[in-house]
Structure 1
Amino acid sequence: MATTALTHAQAAAVLAPRLTAGEEVVKFIRTKPLGGAGALIILGMLGVAVFAAALAPYDPYVGDYGLQFARPSAEHWFGTDEFGRDVLSRVMYGARIALFVGFTASLAGCTLGGLLGVVSAYCGGKVDLLLERLMDILLAFPQLILALAIASILGPAVQNVVIAISIPIIPRAARVVRATALSVKENVYVEAVQALGATRRRVVLHHIVPNVVAPYIIMLTAQLGGAILAEAALSYLGLGTAEPTPSWGLMLSGSAPSYAEKAPWIALFPGIAISLGVFGFNLFGDSLRDALDPKLRRT
């Protein structure tokens, strides 16, 4: 009886109509309200970043020394900084830098790490051993410390920040993808396909890669918040973007130490933006992880 019930359940799952993309989104929001909240925060940040030129009330690069340290008011909602620049406008434009670096560094690191993980798992032997030892070397350093070291060597620039943040992500993505690829490689159907004469390229592209997409996406979303925080940290330490680029971390670097008591709003609003961005990506990433792989909920 149990077998019959299980068969009926499986048949119902197979015959059930597939949900459209819109229905999948609605289902995700209903079942994962925190993930929906995180998605709204991310969409809000994207909207501000894309339409910053239209939304920002002032030019973020132009200051007025007659308005130095102006308190938040109807004219300047977030006040002005030490150069008389509108803080709200700079926070809006800072979303562009944060999202660009976050997305680019996470995508580059996870993609390269994922490729190395697939190669390591499929080739095995000396190739696997060599790549694993290389990943061990990179994992021996804390993620932010390694990014600081790379950024200090390359110098302050946006492209260098992307490189510095993406490299520490590579071994972490490689480990996750390699573990999944190894389990897929050992499945009976993969061995059967190989026995039937399928080429390595076909096995990898048609049987291994599709099965590592879910952990890849999970890893990508998990790294986005950390990448934004790392960009802010590097800019705060003078190893990220340079003045007059409106970067959240750079705004903290120039204002917090000297003007914390005189004009706390200069550091307060960029700090809130960083916290909100990281919080949104973490909420969305955790919910997406649970949706794509329920086995990871208790890890």
Structure 2
Amino acid sequence: MTITGAKKKEKIDRLAEVTARDERGVSLWQEAFRRLRRNPAAIVGAAILTVFVLVALVGPFLVPYGPTDTMGIREGVIKPGVIPGPSGDHWFGYDHQGRDVFSRMIVGARQTLLVGVVATLIGLAVGALIGGVAGAAAGLGGRWGRMVDTVLMRFIDMLLALPSLLLAVSIAALLGASLTTVMIAVGMVSVPVFARLLRGSMISQAGSDYVLASTSLGVKKSKIALTHVLPNSLAPVIVQATLTLATAIIEAAALSFLGLGNPDSAVPEWGVMLADAQPYLGVRPALAIYPAVGIIITALGFTLLGEAMREALDPKLRK
């Protein structure tokens, strides 16, 4: 075989290998991950969230000053109508009580992340339980199943009839001001969204061929719902959880701003910091700008990543 023939054979073998690799089946999540890697919005959102999570987890151990240390008052630099701004030692300056704002922002990121994640998990758990039962009952449960679905969905409709912020404020007011109250209130607001989404996804999956095949083989409907229908219905719910994290952070900050969050303002949290800065907007508006920008950028990161995930997983939105 000549050298030219050998090169041609090598190219043909390499092309055949690439073609075989491309024709090999990939899972839905693998294909979605490929699309996410090519989506600029997903990359930007992931970068923002990576920085935010690292700051929230590692930052509190590296802050230069204690977030509750009133060093400005002790040093005599805080005076009526005077709040020093950024300097070489204090990058974001002092707040009205002489505390280092940069240290409080870093430590407050952990509280904000904790509230957003726990509130989303509460909403996801309760909503998935209601939506899963309703979806399985409506799709596979017959006449009695449809009755169960009707009762559960009317309860969800009652929650949807109330404005989300009003519902969160009502729950927080009933339970009393605390960080745990904020998590529960914000989590309950997202319950109807998760319940409706999972129910609809399970009902659409109930008419699939694999469900018909499993039923014809005599598999119990409860097993079909738990081991086949439910796992195949979770993709849109996971995407919604990413989007809900953004709204959870904003709503938690709103409740803290209204005084329904942690009653101890010494514990840094971005919503509390935003509320504490209101009386001093004329003296130093940056005290409100720092936590507001932190909330906006974090919510933007979750929104960008969530929208990109929805586009990658939804066949109707794929480019």
TM-score normalised by L of structure 1: 0.89
Residue 225 (1) aligns with residue 246 (2) = yes
Q: What whole-Å deviation, never above 9, does each CA across 1:163-209 have from its counterpart, x for those lacking one?
A: 10011111111111111100111223212312322123320122111
The residue identity in structure 2 corresponding to 1:247 is E
User: Structure 2 regions of 5+ residues with no counterpart?
Assistant: 1-18, 139-145
Once the two structures are TM-superposed, the CA of residue 295 in structure 1 deviates from its matched residue by 1.9
Q: Which residue of 1 aligns with 2:102?
A: 88
AA of the residue aligned to 2:257: Y
Alignment of 1:19-168 (within 5 A): 27-28=34-35, 30-64=37-71, 65=73, 66-68=76-78, 69-124=83-138, 125-168=146-189
Partner of 1:60, secondary structure, is: coil
> Measured at CA, do residues 149 and 132 of structure 1 come closer, stay the same or move farther in structure 2, by a change above 3 Å?
same
- Pairs within 5 Å for 1:184-203: 184-203=205-224
Counting aligned pairs with the same residue, the percent is 39
Q: Which moved more, 1:68-77 or 1:279-288?
A: 68-77
Mapped contact 1:39–1:280 kept (Cα < 8 A): yes
Q: Which runs of 5+ in 1 are unaligned?
A: 1-10
Larger-Rg structure: 2
Residues 158, 297 of structure 1: CA spacing in aligned structure 2 closer, same or farther, 3 A cutoff? farther
Distance apart, 1:297 and its partner CA: 6.5
Distance 1:182 1:235 in 2: 38
Deviations 1:9-56 (A, max 9, x none): xx979842759x99975x445411111111111111111111122331
Contact kept in structure 1, 2:36 and 2:308, CA below 8 Å: no
How many residue pairs match? The answer is 285
1:176 corresponding residue in structure 2: 197
| Structure 2 residue identity aligned to 1:32 | N
TM-score using structure 2 length: 0.84
Residues 42, 175 of structure 1: alpha-carbon distance in 2 compared, 3 angstrom cutoff? same
Deviation at 1:57, TM superposition (A): 1.5
C-alpha contact 2:257 2:275 (8 A) present in aligned 1: yes
Instruction: Kindly report the root-mean-square deviation, in angstroms, between the aligned alpha carbons of the 2 structures.
Output: 2.3
Task: Tell me the distance in 1 between the aligned counterparts of 2:47 and 2:249.
Answer: 17
